[in-house]
Amino acid sequence: MSRTIVLGLGFVLLVCCSGKLAESSSDAQHVADGKLSRDGANALCALKETVQKIGTEGADNLVKKAEDNVTHLKDYRKRVGYFGSQVISLSGRADPDSDDDAKKELKEFCEEAENETRGDLRDAKELYTEIEKDAKKSKEAARATLGEETKDTDSKGLSGVLHRHCGESQGKNKAPSQHCDTDVYNNESDGGKYTISCGTDHTHHRGDASARLHKAFDEWESKKPKKAGGNLKCGAAGENSSSPCTVSEGWKENYEELNVSLSTLEENGHHIENATREGAKRLTSVYLAYKMLKEGKTAGEALQEAKSRLEGNDTDCPDEGKNDSKCLSNEDLLSGARDHFIFPLTIPELLMYVGIPLLVVLIGVVLFCIFRARKKDKKEDVASGSVHQGKGMPSTNIDPF
C-alpha cells in the first residue's frame, strides 16, 4: 500500500515537473516553416507596444478610474442618506393626509437605497485595495515581458527578441538574415546585429487593455513562423544552424502573469463602475422624490416616479418645458442632486465652501491694511520733511544792532 502511495506521489511530481519544463522551454527555437515576415514583425511590434503602454500608463489609468468611481460613490452614499431623511420628514409634515401605506413604503424605499449604497461603497473600497495590488503586479509583469532594452543575447524579453532574432550581419557584404525577410530589419546593422524595425505601420488595437492585449497576442500567434515539423531544434552551432528559426518566446510566462493580473484588475474595476452607476440611479430616484414632495405631490406619486427612475426609466413628459420635477431627465436630476448644498460637510468640502472664501477675504483685508499703512507712513514722511526744511532755512529778521 505504501509503495503504491509513493509511486503515485512520484508520478504527480513527474507530471508537475514536466509541466514546468514545458513552460520554461517556450524560449527554445525550432526549425521554422519560413522566415519572419513583415506582417509577423508588425504583429510582434504591436504586441510589444501594447505591453509597454500597459506598463507605463494603462494600469495606472485603471487605478485612477477606480479611485474616481469610489470618490463618486462616497458622495452618492452621503447624498442618498441626506435626501432620504428629507423625504421621510417631508412625507409626514407636508403631506399629512396622504396614505400611510404609501408613506411607509416611501420610507422603506429611501432606507433601502441608503443601505444598498453603503454596502456597495464598502465592497468598492475592498475591491480598490485589490486593484492597487493587481496594478502593481501588472506593471511588474509588463516590465518582465518587455525585458531590458539590451543587446545581450540572453535577454528573453520582447525587446531582446526584436534586437537579436534576425541574427548578425555576416562578412563585408552583410549577407541577408537567414531568419527574417529583408524588409523586416534595418539595413544598417546595430552593433553587428540586424534589429527588427517596428515603425508605425503595425495595428493599433482598440478596446479595454486586456482586450487589446489578447488581440495583439492572437495576431502574433497567427502571423509568427511555425515549426516546420519534426520538432527539430534550431540555432545551435552544427544543429540546423543554416535553417530559419522560430522566434524565441521566453517572455510568454511573464505575459501570462500580465494577462491574469490585468484581467482581474479590469474585472474589479468594472464591479466598482457598476456599483457607482447603481448609486447614481438611487440618488436620482430619492432626489426626485424629495423635489416632488417639496412641490406638494403626494407620497404615492413620489414613490411611483422614484421607482420608475430606479428601474432606469427616464422622463416621459409630453411637454419637456413643463415646470415639473418629474419632467427632468435623469441626467439633470443627478446634476441637481450633486450640486445641492447639504450638511454635514466633509473636511475637503468645508475647505472648499468655507475655508477658501475666508482665506480670500483675509488676504484682501491684509493687503488693504498694508496699503493703508504705507499710505499713512508716506504722508507722515512728507509732513516731517516739511518741518525739517523750515528749521534749516536762515532767518529773515535783521538784527538792528
Q: Read off the pLDDT of each residue in 80-108 and give the average, rounded to a whole number.
A: 85
* Closest residue by Cα to residue 213 from 73, 372, 51: 51
Residue 89 has pLDDT above 70, yes or no: yes
Answer whether residue 230 is part of any domain. Answer: no
* Closest residue by Cα to residue 125 from 268, 263, 260, 265: 268
Instruction: Give the residue with greater pLDDT, 247 vs 389.
Output: 247
Q: Read off the pLDDT of each residue in 153-171 and give the average, rounded to a whole number.
A: 80
Answer whether residue 286 is part of any domain. Answer: yes
Answer whether residue 154 is part of any domain. Answer: yes
Q: So what's the pLDDT on residue 377?
A: 66
Burial of 327 (0-12, 13-18, 19+ CB in 10 A): middle
Q: So what's the pLDDT on residue 190?
A: 55
Lowest mean per-residue pLDDT among 87-91, 241-245, 279-283, 378-382: 378-382
Average pLDDT over all residues of the chain: 82
Answer whether residue 176 is part of any domain. Answer: yes
Give the cell for residue 374: 504705507
Answer whether residue 132 is part of any domain. Answer: yes
Q: What's the structural domain count of the chain?
A: 1
Answer whether residue 390 is part of any domain. Answer: no
Gap between the Cα atoms of 327 and 146, Å rounded: 55
CB atoms within 10 A of CB 344: 8
Residue 101 has pLDDT above 60, yes or no: yes
Q: Read off the pLDDT of each residue in 45-73 and give the average, rounded to a whole number.
A: 96
**Which residue range forms the structural domain that includes residue 201?**
41-220+249-314+324-363
Q: Give Cβ neighbours of residue 93 (< 8 Å, ≥ 6 apart).
A: none
Lowest mean per-residue pLDDT among 19-33, 98-112, 205-219, 242-256: 19-33
Answer whether residue 400 is part of any domain. Answer: no
Answer whether residue 378 is part of any domain. Answer: no
Task: State the CATH number of the domain containing residue 133.
Answer: 1.20.1260
User: Residue 233 — φ and ψ, nearest 5°?
Assistant: -70, 155
Residue 91 has pLDDT above 60, yes or no: yes
